[in-house]
Structure 1
Amino acid sequence: MELELELELDTSSTMAKEPKEPPPPAAAAQPKPKYELRPVEKVKDPIISQIGDFRRYQLFFFLIVVLCKFGTGWHTLAHIFLAAPTPLKCLTPNVTDACSKDCKQTEFNTTVFKTTIITQWDLICDRQSLASLSQSIVMLGIMVGGMSFGMIADRWGRRPAFLLCCFMQLFTGLIVCASPFFWFYCLFRFLVAVATGGTMTVSFVLLMEIIGPKKRELIGILYQIPFNIGHASLSLFAFYIREWRWFQFSVTIFSVVFVIYIWLVPESPRWLFTTGRVDKSVKVLERIARHNRAPTDTIRPEIEAAHQVLASRQPTKKGNVIDLFRTPYMRLKTICMANDWLVVCMVYYGTAQYIAKLGGDIFLNVLIAALLGIPGTLLCVVLTKYLGRKMTMMLSNGLSACGLLLLVFLHKSKQIVQVMCATLGLFGASITFPNVYLYGAELFPTVVRSNGMGLCSMVGRIGGLVAPMICELDVYGAWITPLVFGVFSVLAMLGTIFLPETRGTPLPETLEDGESFGRKSPKEQS
């Protein structure tokens, strides 16, 4: 009995010394999350259903990608000051015409610009047309770049195409500064323009593919404002930098900031999803969702299910330019949208140049013409939101037509009246310009969106290419130039009638979507 009692005492004392077991995990206090998750509204678009319509990440992405738009304005319109008018006078006694055979000695008036490409390579008299040719080469480069980089983006991805054109713009732009002769200058200005055309197209597609329909029109239009600011700031650069090589360097060196894109610009999750790279698309979407404080646990199953539905409708296929013309309705929409691009580039660049030719201070003229695009862009935001893309396109082209055709009948009136009419035409084009980007990006399906935007950009550059030639027609009659621009504006207005409204609708994904998109009413599509 004593032994049993001792064992019981030992056992009880041992039990008393043993530490108490921790409470079960279920009863443990859960750590508070760093932030509260915000559910995402589920819509028909599988990409927007995971990351939201427009949240923190989309705003951040917009702010960094928008930096490249300043360069597009600088490089596209730098010719205004690279080849600025430089008066030439003859030093031979009793000879006033500097281009006559009797003139043995000439001199440039460098009181405004110390050097330009005109003074550098004597682009005067019978060589005068070479200056305009160099700008036509730039427009050709933008046309080639928009098309070629659009194809690269659709075939190999948005990110590699975007990075390539950004760094190509930087390196070729710096080489232009050291051009030893004219044709070398033209070659590398062409390559800069190729990169610029690619930047215009691919950056816009990258942005539009992660923004939902609620904010798409606002962001798509505001994205064009840096182009206007870049255009306007050329006057400031040129006012303080009067030598063309340093002027070219100043508008190029900014591209060094593009190095941040290596780390901050991911591949488009929509492109990855549409081309069958579901796993990579999920990883990008999860990262964006975490930035947007959205749930991530349902992304993979929902994206995989959505891709199965997409694959059952149509096998994964990488599109090309020919696909834009295979089916009748897609062909009609492509032609009409390309026509809108042709006209707006022709009217915008041509009228801006025409205003500068009407006389006055070149710095002030360029500044006013460029700043005019900002209120036009802001007005486009309101019009596209409440009237839709189609009606806004028709009204803005009609406004350009009214101003330019009015100028046909008032070409002999006071200079201020002519400038006001031309300014009205330019203001209409400044409303149209952001709208064609937005409208086109919403019209083409994902598999050929970059190809479609690249094609339209290419056709638009044809309009920009011929615009200087149209401006030269004023030597045969001051009314001819505004007449041509006005008639083309009317044609663009009429062609827009055949396009469907895209406001508030999901982006078409496949070629099948592209053909059927617009045959239904906007309410049925959404």
Structure 2
Amino acid sequence: MIYRDLYKDEHTVDMFSYGTVNDTNSKCLQIGPIWKGFRKPLAMITQSVQKNEDVTSSIIGDFGRWQLKISILMALLKLPIAWYQLNIIFMAPPQNFWCSKPLPFSKYSDEEWRRLSVPHVEEHPCLIFDPDLLAIDPFMDKTLIPLVPCKKFVYDTSVFKRTITSDWNLVCSKHWLTHMCQCVMMWGIVLGGIVFGIWADKYGRQLPLMIGIVIQGVSSSIASIMPWYSIFLINWFILALASGGVGIISFVISMEVVSGKWRTIIPVIYQLPFGIGNAIMAGLAYWLRDWRKLEFALGALSSLFIFYWFWVPESPRWLLATGQTEKAAVILKKITRENKMQVSSKYIKRLINEHQPRTQQDPGFLAFLTSKRMRLKTVLLSMNWFCTGLAFYTFSQYLGSIGGNIFIAVSVTGIISTIGGVTCIFIITRVGRKTTVGIYQIVTASCFVFILLMPRGSYANDWPRLLFAGIGFAGMAGTIPALYLFSGELFPTLGRNVGVSGVTTFARIASMVAPAVVTLESLLVDLPLIILTIISFAQILMVLPLPETKDAPLPDTLEQAEQF
């Protein structure tokens, strides 16, 4: 039997000699001269395909130059995702304000005016003593002067020159509008992950990803010049849709381009730039001190990702799963060249045709809830993501008090997140997904307990409480990438975007519940921490029924996912 097409490309007819098989049961073919750059003899490829039926990795390998490039490109997309999810911190930071001084009081200093006009029981000057009556006798009995709403406010610009609070007077009765921005962002991310996830599973990864990238850059730039709050909010929602879509698609691509041990490492490394993005954003905010300039700068940086159109091809795994074998063969051929592997196009097509599963339709998220085994996995993952999101967004407020400097606080949070992600790589490659998630959840829950047991004010700056808070946050930062990887491996290729975006939606919903949990401090100081402690221990029990996916091949269809 002659295997000429294994070594001979259509455009290089006389490049290689021919060889014949001497022993069909041998582990390597007995062939004539073999080109030095070719790393996988035919029998090795055939055995690999027969073993795990993963045609993609059998042709291009588990990890090479192309996989490294795509992995880095996808990880870098976590930078803008971090910027837009958390830049409300610098758009609407805590900012002192007071009522503008009327003309009759121009002879008084700002401090004297505030002392005369503001009732001492008011935390912020939303109401002042009637300035018309106060002008008659500034030192008259204040009980005789009614309180009236302030008509014009002055804002402290010592830290931030301009915020959305000062631009649109989002104080007093309008203060809730600052929280509306974050709610709109989170709802947009939720819907964006679902909509773009469905789109990516149906029409491919590349086009929806690029549309999301373009929308991110354009919407951020528009937000920086938007003069009206209501229109800004609509634009903010569109930006959130794109951010949610880019996040879910880039994560799925990072999983689909690698295999073997790299399928464990790369999706975890993919999460690391999120913390780095926080630090970068804090540096830009410190330098610019203006939310409009910051938003424009972030938009300009995000627009650079438009070059991905030339660097990121369609996912060959998705093409094969949807039966587009011709397109998949062309892309796989280009990848083998980039990975310095010499495999002919004819052989790639023949291997695909011999081992290609029948084409199936995208099952949709509802199919996971109606399937016997996937229903339990989907419900448990959804509950886990809700608890993780609630703990993350609620507990992050404890780290916000470090040093009292908002720029340092955000930077430290980002660094701690990165450290947690790095440790996750070493743990998850050794003990598997389920155990890793459990370990980090135990660390987080234990830190909550230590914080509850540690008395307040007993040490300088409450450093033991802050130490356990930092370790607890690192635990959550390690849980998130492990849970992302675990979720992605449990859902099949046809439906992976929809599945992952569906279960992670509950983390976004939890982020909207988090402010309500924090307000429970008014009932009992440590009540929020007590709730988070119970939730964190409960998460450990939710992981136990799930199967371990370490070293298991990625399922391509719902039927394969049901076999886990």
Give the TM-score normalised by structure 2: 0.82
1:456 correspondence with 2:500: no
Asked whether the 8 Å contact 1:201–1:457 carries over to 2, the reply is no
Give 2:514's aligned residue. Answer: 467
In structure 2, the residue corresponding to 1:89 is in which secondary structure? Answer: strand
1:397 correspondence with 2:398: no
Out of 63, 72, 87, the residue aligned to residue 78 of structure 1 is 87
In structure 1, the residue corresponding to 2:55 is in which secondary structure? Answer: coil
| 2-structure distance, mates of 1:403, 1:217 | 27
Give 2:69's aligned residue. Answer: 60
Out of 361, 365, 369, the residue aligned to residue 413 of structure 2 is 369
| 1-structure distance, mates of 2:182, 2:533 | 23
- Output aligned runs, 1:345-364, within 5 Å: 345-357=389-401, 360-364=404-408
Give 2:354's aligned residue. Answer: 305
Q: 1:123-168: CA deviations, max 9, x gaps?
A: 1122222212211111111111111111000111111111111111
Q: 1:452-508: CA deviations, max 9, x gaps?
A: 111122222112222233223333333122222222222221101111111111101
- Output aligned runs, 1:112-511, within 5 Å: 112-297=159-344, 298-307=347-356, 310-311=357-358, 316-357=360-401, 360-410=404-454, 412-414=456-458, 415-511=462-558
Asked whether the 8 Å contact 1:138–1:190 carries over to 2, the reply is yes
Q: Which has the higher helix share?
A: 1
By how many angstroms is 1:318 displaced? 2.1
Give 1:87's aligned residue. Answer: 96
Q: Which moved more, 1:383-392 or 1:408-417?
A: 408-417
Asked whether the 8 Å contact 2:491–2:561 carries over to 1, the reply is yes
By how many angstroms is 1:118 displaced? 1.0
Give 1:47's aligned residue. Answer: 56
| 1-structure distance, mates of 2:536, 2:230 | 35
By how many angstroms is 1:344 displaced? 2.1
For the structure 1 residues 370 and 478, does the alpha-carbon distance in structure 2 shift closer, same or farther, using more than 3 Å as the test? Answer: farther
- Output aligned runs, 1:100-111, within 5 Å: 100-102=127-129, 104=150, 106-111=153-158
RMSD across aligned positions (CA): 2.3
| 1-structure distance, mates of 2:394, 2:328 | 43
By how many angstroms is 1:35 displaced? 6.4
| 1-structure distance, mates of 2:348, 2:487 | 29
Give 2:139's aligned residue. Answer: none
In structure 2, the residue corresponding to 1:213 is in which secondary structure? Answer: coil
In structure 1, the residue corresponding to 2:304 is in which secondary structure? Answer: helix
Q: What is the one-letter code of the residue matched to 1:379?
A: T
For the structure 1 residues 27 and 119, does the alpha-carbon distance in structure 2 shift closer, same or farther, using more than 3 Å as the test? Answer: closer
| 2-structure distance, mates of 1:147, 1:61 | 23
Q: Which moved more, 1:357-366 or 1:150-159?
A: 357-366
Give 1:13's aligned residue. Answer: none
Q: What is the one-letter code of the residue matched to 1:99?
A: C
| 2-structure distance, mates of 1:85, 1:449 | 40
Asked whether the 8 Å contact 2:213–2:303 carries over to 1, the reply is no
For the structure 1 residues 27 and 470, does the alpha-carbon distance in structure 2 shift closer, same or farther, using more than 3 Å as the test? Answer: closer
User: When the two structures are aligned, how many residues end up with a matched partner?
Assistant: 487
Q: What is the one-letter code of the residue matched to 1:305?
A: E
Q: 1:283-303: CA deviations, max 9, x gaps?
A: 111111111122323211111
Asked whether the 8 Å contact 1:208–1:216 carries over to 2, the reply is yes
| 2-structure distance, mates of 1:223, 1:431 | 12
Give 1:520's aligned residue. Answer: none
Q: What is the one-letter code of the residue matched to 1:342?
A: F
Q: Which moved more, 1:324-333 or 1:464-473?
A: 464-473
By how many angstroms is 1:33 displaced? 10
Q: 1:406-448: CA deviations, max 9, x gaps?
A: 3334463453233223222211101011112211111111111
Q: What is the one-letter code of the residue matched to 2:38?
A: L
For the structure 1 residues 49 and 413, does the alpha-carbon distance in structure 2 shift closer, same or farther, using more than 3 Å as the test? Answer: same
| 1-structure distance, mates of 2:521, 2:471 | 19
By how many angstroms is 1:353 displaced? 2.6
Asked whether the 8 Å contact 1:78–1:234 carries over to 2, the reply is yes
For the structure 1 residues 211 and 88, does the alpha-carbon distance in structure 2 shift closer, same or farther, using more than 3 Å as the test? Answer: same
Give 1:22's aligned residue. Answer: none
Give the TM-score normalised by structure 1: 0.88
For the structure 1 residues 35 and 412, does the alpha-carbon distance in structure 2 shift closer, same or farther, using more than 3 Å as the test? Answer: same
Q: Which moved more, 1:220-229 or 1:96-105?
A: 96-105
Q: 1:213-270: CA deviations, max 9, x gaps?
A: 2211111111111111001222111111111100111112112222211111111111
Unaligned runs of 5+ in 2: 1-12, 19-32, 100-112, 130-147
Q: Which moved more, 1:87-96 or 1:150-159?
A: 87-96
Q: What is the one-letter code of the residue matched to 1:87?
A: N
| 2-structure distance, mates of 1:160, 1:27 | 38
Q: 1:391-412: CA deviations, max 9, x gaps?
A: 0101111111111233334463
Q: What is the one-letter code of the residue matched to 2:556?
A: E
Q: Which moved more, 1:377-386 or 1:295-304?
A: 295-304
| 2-structure distance, mates of 1:53, 1:438 | 17
Q: 1:46-77: CA deviations, max 9, x gaps?
A: 11001000011101112223221110111111
